[in-house]
Amino acid sequence: GNRIMPALCRAITRRLPPLLRTRPVIAHVRWFSSSKHKHNNYALVLNAGSSSIKYGLFDIKTDGKDGTELCSGIVDSLGSENAKLKHKDVTGGKEVIHEMSIPDHATGLKKVVEILTERDGAIQDLNDIKVVGHRVAHGGNMFSGPTVIDDQVIQAIEKCSTLAPLHNPANLIGIRIAKELFPAPHVAVFDTAFHTTMPPESYRYAIPKELYEEHGIRRYGFHGTSYTFVLGATASVLKRPIEDLNVIMLHLGSGASMCCVKNGKGIDTTMGMTPLEGLVMATRCGDVDPGIYTHLCTQLNMSPAEVDRMLNRRSGLLGLCGQNDMRSIISAASKGDQDAKLARQIFVERIRKYLGAYLVKLNGELDAIVFTGGIGENDFALRESICDGLRSLGIELDTTKNLSGLSLCEVQGTFSRTKILVIPTNEELSIALQSADVAGIVSKLSGAEKLAQAQTEWQVPEQAQSEQDPAAPKLGNALFVEGTGMTAVEEVGLLYAVLPRAPRVGYFRPFAEGENDRSISLMRSIFRLDDSPEVMQGITVAEATKLLSHGQEKELFDQILSKYVEYRKGKDFVLVSCGRLENDSHFWSQKMAAALNLPVLLISDVGHESDLAIIKGGLESSNVKIAGVLMSGLPPGNEYAETANECKEAIEQLGLRSVGMLPKSAIIHQVTMAEVVDALGAKVFFGEESLDRSIVKDITVATLDMNRMLHRLRVHPGTLVIVHSGRADVLLSLVLAARSSNYPRPAGILLTGSRNLDPDVDDILCGLNGIAMPVIGVEEDTFACTTTLLKHRPVLLPSSTTKIEAAQVLFQKHIDPKFLNQLVATNADDYVVTPKLFQHNIFSAARTDKQRIVLPEGDDPRVLAAAGELLARNLCEVTILGKEDLIQNKAKRNHVSLKGAKIVDPETETTEEMVDALYNARKSKGMTKELARDMLQGEPNWFGTMMMYLDQADGMVSGACHSTAATMRPALQVIKMAPGFSLVSSVFFMLLPGRVLVFGDCAINVDPTADELAEIAVASAHTARAFGILPRVAMLSYATGDSNQGPMIDKVREATKKARLLAPNELIEGPIQFDAAVDPAVAAVKYKGQDSPVAGKATVLVFPDLNAGNNAYKAVQQASKSIAVGPIMQGLRKPVNDLSRGCTIDDIVNTVVVTCLQSKASKELAKK
């Protein structure tokens, strides 16, 4: 029995049917659980109030690894006949409530002792408690840290009672009674102690000196136990000594305060002599004019006690909007409650005011802003509002990280000088560890640092080292996934995580659903696999069932094995996802893993830990190697760290390895209109481009009159409206409402009973010049559709870009990089960039070093939509040219958020510096200052170009409504060439099946000379490298090597020599024919006996003239049905790229991302 691990016991208990969860079973589990605490280093934490006693029991480990909460509770309503003792067994999950008469603190504490020491209680002997820690509200200026309690300490606490008359006397009652009951040392931990390092200029009030000297009236500050804990955790996260840190901590909950820390010491805080001063709180007013007190007493005849009650209990958020719970306030504000909106704004602005003041106190030298407390840890929108617009102060929030929902995380942007951390506080554990430290029963590692270590264990750095660990055993280039939590999200995330190490990935299902297997279709689409569904599956479920029914198991496995062996040829990595036979749990998948001789990754949902032991036994009996366990579905927020540690403990007790802990993602678990279309097989009438972005938060059937319907939709934004196709009134009304910037847009409209619109209604809607809201239709009736949707669960579709990105982020943050490094290593010489990897790489690179891109065409809705997407995906900094009011109105009409964009009006914001710069650059060509001003104010491409010229922007993308000449001329005349270049050329990225090639020049230079061709080759190599493609440059001609002569071949031969001189470190070959450049088999024949690093594996192909290049890229594009990205201009000092007039939003986004990487490459080239 003692060999059964406690964490797994708890998991098994959770899985028992309710009727089996009886007291004997719980007691049995607790009996096992108590065995792990046999060293009995317990710390009891007490917080005695005027009418309550809160308590918590912690197991403090002598090896310095932390403390574990065993149980907690509260004795409430002391002195009444209906007092309650609520006790929770944290390890066993049991909670009991006793109602009884508890006349005083002494009786209450004795009841606590009884419940702690009962037969199945947490302890059996009071001597097991090694220390009792007491929370004491006020220590005045006498206590700067936790202190062992003796008679002198008790007298000092009594003296401080005048400063905290509601708290200190009650704390003393608890101390005196506890000292009689518990023989252990008793320690006082003061809420004010942390702030005793404040200098006089921070703690003195500007009132008569004698009030301070004789009565101690000064600022003391509170939340000290929380700040002690969080500062230690911050030091652990940042891996720096506490004494080196400058930090601003925000403890935001129903009680809220801030603290400024310089060199590890508190130098200021927002609360004062009492907790009433400072920030707006749930029911406390925070800072107010003291004259209000006099006014209320003299003018409104309020007594001092009434004023005190009002300011402490009826003010703050409650006074502003009638609610004191921030969650309720958020809900009310979202429904249009103006008081709730104002309350939230005031809450934020008070915080920002103190944030600015503390930045000044630190002279701008700030290491971290730390959010803690219930609101600080969980209100991501509040954090964003607090940090909004502070980029110039070195504070920049990353919106994607901020939405991660992790309990402990960094949420700052790439270029933020200041770290922005979210760290959950644990004041009770802080008191326990501080008390244990003073009593000498733990090591000298601080409790905060210990907890931070535990919580950061699965916070993998974003830029994880990719080098192979030579000591780690290699798992091979294929992995079998199995378990209870296996979903498409985990499989997609895993393949993306492997992709940088293995660009040629594959996906194989031994048992599949045939050509329409959803998992295979999903992976083919997301990763652009050119394999047919037939080769990606071993056998259909129907065929497998038939073979097994005839006893043909050997034939079944032979067929699957032969298909798998053939499929994995040419793959760097293959993920094998077994699928399920009918009525099969894990039997056949385990046999299949053994047959394929593959290591298995077990994927399990939280709550199914007990199943792991069963699966492990089956795999080990088949001699299958288990690579590790990936847990998914962990609760985000405060519960994440505790749940992750529990799961990890259970996994390790089974002798297995934890490779990741994935929290539940709100983004992944939402339903989009694209999923509705997929689930119903619906026809899309309008809004197809927004299907994946339209989130279904609610469903309603339109049976009400329109007034009531519109009101309901205002209260419930994001609702899918289901209505019969004959209700034209509802359809037209909702389409009109959705076009209003003053009305929340529904998620979409589902028309039932027909897949066709009424012709008249169709004519009206088609004449509205674009309907962004999805409108879809089905033949089925309303009841059938509603029933189907109510049963629908979120799924992953190929179009679910937001969910796919969320899956990538989860794996980047929570997968163990050592595990990934064990899977596969790719030889650099054989490294091939696939189309999917190319796109993945450029978007990731753009995020890691954001560039400043100017978009001159602010009047184009496509440009605005692209700008919104660039900002939302955190890809670059965006400047849009045009009139701000017109741009914002157009964005609002199209439901585009431009938050974070810089909008500049050339007509009003053309500066003399810009005019002078253009004049000086072009005065030799006849430019005047008047003409320069006219061009800057009237031609946005000139304004954008001059922003780059003056280093106000890194790149420009235009051409959606301008000609190529209008886009490129300003750059050619002012930006000019990069060092070492004398001409502008272009390339196309050809996203071919299985690889990406660079074609140049296919758009600019008609008949380049040998010198120009050499320069194009070198520029194209630089461009390829900037985009993660190892350049192997082939100088193309109609003959290879010395096999022929002629003017064209001679030019290419001369250009090759000159290119090698220009870039001696580049791999350049020529003249060479196209087939010899890209086909290893042809190269082996034409370069027989020669060792060419380019032949057969060229990645950059340089054509001899525009006629050859332009025709070649179009022929390859059409013949292979591949994507051609370009033309990408190269050779300019700063990048400018031209859009086609028919460009889509995706085209603009892709071009901007390409421009970002060109900018980075240009900067690197300039440094060299």
Give pLDDT tens digits for 974-1003: 988 887 778 888 898 888 866 789 998 887
| Number of Cβ within a 10 Å radius of residue 601 | 25
Cα 1090 from Cα 1087, distance rounded (Å): 5
In Å, how far are 195, 258, 742, 889, 902 from 895, measured between CA atoms? 48, 36, 11, 10, 18
What positions carry a catalytic annotation? Answer: 191
Element (H, E) at 935: helix 929-938
Choose the CATH number for 42-190 among 3.50.50.60, 3.40.50.80, 3.40.50.1370, 3.30.420.40. 3.30.420.40
Residue 56: which of 158, 146, 2, 134 has the closest Cα?
134
Q: How far is CA 493 from the centre of its chain?
A: 13
The CATH homologous superfamily to which domain 478-668+812-824 belongs is P-loop containing nucleotide triphosphate hydrolases (3.40.50.300)
- Quick one: pLDDT at residue 804? 83
CA-to-CA dists, residue 275 to 213, 219, 256, 721, angstroms = 21, 10, 9, 49
DSSP 682: P
Query: Which phi and psi angles does 640 have, rounded to 5°?
Result: -60, -55
User: Any idea which residue has 């509260």 for tokens?
Assistant: 74
- For residue 837, the model assigns a pLDDT of 57
The strands making up 67-76's β-sheet, listed across from edge to edge, are 94-100, 83-89, 67-76, 53-60, 42-48, 129-136, 186-190, 147-148
Starting at the edge strand found earlier in the chain, the sheet holding 409-410 runs 265-269, 256-262, 247-252, 368-372, 419-422, 409-410
Residue 931: enclosing H or E segment and its boundaries?
Answer: helix 929-938
Q: Given this chain, do its domains 42-190 and 977-1131 carry the same CATH topology?
A: no
Of 526, 531, 560, 528, the C-alpha closest to 543 is 560
Q: Which CATH number fits domain 671-793: 3.40.50.300, 3.40.640.10, 3.60.40.10, 3.40.1390.20?
A: 3.40.1390.20
Residue spans of alpha helices (H) in 283-403: 291-299, 304-313, 316-321, 326-334, 338-361, 373-378, 380-387, 399-402
What's the N-to-C CA distance of the chain in angstroms? 68
Q: What pLDDT does 824 receive?
A: 66
What's 977-1131's CATH class? alpha beta
CATH of 223-429, one of 3.40.1280.10, 3.30.420.10, 3.30.420.40, 2.40.10.10: 3.30.420.40
Q: What is the pLDDT of residue 24?
A: 27
- Cα–Cα distance, 299 to 285 (Å, whole number): 20
> Collapsing DSSP states into helix, strand and coil, what is residue 81?
coil
**For position 840, what pLDDT does the model report?**
64
Contacts of 721 (CB under 8 A, 6+ apart): 700, 701, 702, 709, 713, 730, 734, 746, 748, 749, 750
Domain ranges of the chain: 42-190, 223-429, 478-668+812-824, 671-793, 836-976+1133-1167, 977-1131
Of the candidate CATH numbers 3.40.50.10950, 3.10.129.10, 3.40.50.2300, 3.40.50.360, the domain formed by 836-976+1133-1167 belongs to 3.40.50.10950
Give the Å distances, CA to CA, from 465 to 414, 504, 922: 18, 21, 49
The strand pairing partners of 600, in sequence order, are 480, 626
Buried b (16+ CB within 10 A) or exposed e, 1083-1118: beebbeeeebebbbbbbbbbbbebebbbebbeebbe
CA angle 921, 924, 930 (to 5 degrees): 70
- Name residue, tokens 């421009």: 1155
Radius of gyration of the chain, Cα coordinates, nearest whole angstrom: 34
243, 446 Cβ separation under 8 angstroms: no
Distance of alpha carbon 872 from alpha carbon 865, whole angstroms: 11
Q: pLDDT below 50 — which residues of the chain?
A: 1-38, 64-65, 443-472, 825-830
Q: What is the pTM of this model?
A: 0.44
Nearest to 987 by CA among 832, 1101, 839: 1101
